[in-house]
């Protein structure tokens, strides 16, 4: 199913040339993207590529070094914590480890009512009804309110964290690897739940994952990050059928296929080595030091001389590579 976010609606979120540095580490180095209301953007890349930092900067959990973040038309980068408070309600986060994000001493009912209390919403009775409603939304029985988080399995705990994120009726949820700590069999439950919530509540999401196969089932658009930059962004159908950036293709080829015959026939290009240090990124294209395409082209000088821009190749598909030619290279997973 493709996006319910309409193409002509004003963007919910506009991120422009976002930069976040920690000392000499440029964790996010010039990232721009839009998000429409109700849209799900998958944000994918290796560990350390800056995905969490983008998500946290959007929610102003991380300091922003420069750039602009407009949420519902308001520039949020310069806002004081006080001015930010009403916007905070509209943006929520879900983390990888649900247990770590839920206070173990609070019963589930309290955990879900707390955001409502903090923002002074609803009376006692109203809050109780809202808690029951939230539990129903995430597929848990009302009785769950009387139990502690540790009494639930990992998948159920993630449902509780999702319910808490929904309490204030947000317009945007940043889900930072929400399924990475769950069994594959349970991951599908959480993915389906988030997809369903998007359909019913029209909540937009930035869904962060290190694995392109996971976001394929939930995202409308996918942005691939490498070393603090977006190297490719496209509608889902485009990205998976015509991946243009050699990094995207490498990420696709790293995903194991649940089919031994195809697995044997497949020619994969597994990237060698690890991410270069973001303190000292390669000159020119940040991917040049590991790029199989550059190697196969005989190391053209452009790759190390100039930083490739995210160029539009049609239909909103943008690729930052001097030599990308998505039409010429169909996907081979």
Ligand X SMILES: Nc1ncnc2c1ncn2[C@@H]1O[C@H](COP(=O)(O)OP(=O)(O)O)[C@@H](O)[C@H]1O
- Rank residues 52 and 181 by Cβ distance to Mg ion and give the closer one: 52
Handedness of CA 162, 165, 169, 173 (dihedral sign): negative
Using CA atoms, how far residue 268 sits from 195, 231, 331, 332, 333, in Å, is 31, 20, 12, 9, 7
Among 120, 273, 298, 301, the residue binding another protein under the rule CB under 8 A is 273
Interface segment toward Mg ion; rule CB under 5 A; list 11-19, 50-58, 217-225, 243-251: 50-58
131 binds ligand X (CB under 6 A): no
Per-position x/- string for 122-151, each x denoting binding to another protein as judged by CB under 8 A, each - no binding: -----------------xxx-xx--x--xx
- Per-residue x/- marks for ligand X, 60-99, CB under 6 A? ----------------------------------------
**Residues of span 139-168 touching ligand X by CB under 6 A:** none
- Binding Mg ion by CB under 5 A: which of 27, 39, 43, 52? 52
Instruction: Pick one of 13, 27, 171, 214: the residue that binds ligand X (CB under 6 A).
Output: 27
Binder to ligand X among 15, 42, 49, 156 (CB under 6 A)? 49
167 vs 206 by CB, closer to ligand X: 206
Q: Which is nearer to Mg ion, 190 or 206 (CB)?
A: 206
Distance in Å, CB of 290 to ligand X, minimum: 16
- The reply to whether 47 sits near ligand X by the rule CB under 6 A is yes
Q: Which is nearer to another protein, 60 or 289 (CB)?
A: 289
Question: Is 251 an interacting residue with respect to another protein (CB under 8 A)?
Answer: yes
Q: How far is the CB of 90 from another protein (least distance, A)?
A: 28
Under the binding rule (CB under 8 A), the answer on residue 259 touching another protein is: yes
Q: Encode the chain in three state secondary structure.
A: CCCCCCCCCCCCEEEEEEEEEECCEEEEEEEEEEECCCCEEEEECCCCCCHHHHHHHHCCCCCCCEEEEEECCEECCCCCHHHHHHHHCCEEEECCCHHHHCCCCCCHHHHHHHHHHHCCCCCHHHHHHHHHHHHHHCCCCHHHHHCCHHHCCHHHHHHHHHHHHHCCCCCEEEEECCCCCCCHHHHHHHHHHHHHHHHHHCCEEEEEECCHHHHCCCCCEEEEEECCEEEEEEEHHHHHHCCCCHHHHHHHHHCCCCCHHHHHHCCCCCCCCCCCCCCCCCCCCCCHHHCHHHHHCCCCCHHHHCCCCCEEEECCEEECCCCCCCCCCCCCC
Residue 105 touching another protein (CB under 8 A): no
Q: State the greatest distance between any 2 C-alpha atoms of the chain, in Å, as a whole number.
A: 70
The residues of the shown chain that bind ligand X, judged by CB under 6 A, are 22, 25, 27, 45, 47-53, 278
The residues of the shown chain that bind another protein, judged by CB under 8 A, are 1, 46-47, 139-141, 143-144, 147, 150-154, 156, 183-189, 191-192, 195, 210-214, 216-217, 236-237, 240, 250-264, 268, 270-274, 333
The residues of the shown chain that bind Mg ion, judged by CB under 5 A, are 52
């Amino acid at each position: 199913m493709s996006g319910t976010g309409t193409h002509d609606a004003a963007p919910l979120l506009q991120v422009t040339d976002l930069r976040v540095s920690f000392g000499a580490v440029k964790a996010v180095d010039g990232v721009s993207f839009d998000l429409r209301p109700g849209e799900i953007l998958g944000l994918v890349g290796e560990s350390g590529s800056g995905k969490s930092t983008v998500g946290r900067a959007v929610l102003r959990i991380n300091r922003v070094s420069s750039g602009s973040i407009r949420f519902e038309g308001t520039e949020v980068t310069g806002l004081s914590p006080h001015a930010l408070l009403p916007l905070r309600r509209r943006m929520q986060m879900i983390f990888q480890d649900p247990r770590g994000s839920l206070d173990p001493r609070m019963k589930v009912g309290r955990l879900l009512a707390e955001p409502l209390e903090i923002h002074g919403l609803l009376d006692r009775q109203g809050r109780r009804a809202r808690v029951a409603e939230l539990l129903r939304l995430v597929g848990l029985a009302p009785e769950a309110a009387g139990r502690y988080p540790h009494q639930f399995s990992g998948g159920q705990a993630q449902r509780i964290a999702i319910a808490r994120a929904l309490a204030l009726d947000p317009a945007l949820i940043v889900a930072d690897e929400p399924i990475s700590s769950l069994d594959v069999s349970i991951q599908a439950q959480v993915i389906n739940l988030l997809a369903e919530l998007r359909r019913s509540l029209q909540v937009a999401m930035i869904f962060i994952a290190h694995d392109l196969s996971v976001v394929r089932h939930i995202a409308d658009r996918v942005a691939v990050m490498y070393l603090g930059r977006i190297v490719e962004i496209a509608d889902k159908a485009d990205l998976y059928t015509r991946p243009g950036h050699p990094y995207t293709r490498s990420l696709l080829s790293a995903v194991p296929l649940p089919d031994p015959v195809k697995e044997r026939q497949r020619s994969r290009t597994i990237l060698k080595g690890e991410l270069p240090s973001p303190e000292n990124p390669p000159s020119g294209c940040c991917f040049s030091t590991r790029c199989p395409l550059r190697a196969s082209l005989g190391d053209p000088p452009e790759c190390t001389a100039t930083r490739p821009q995210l160029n539009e190749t049609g239909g909103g598909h943008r690729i930052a590579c001097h030599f990308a030619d998505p039409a010429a290279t169909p996907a081979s997973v």
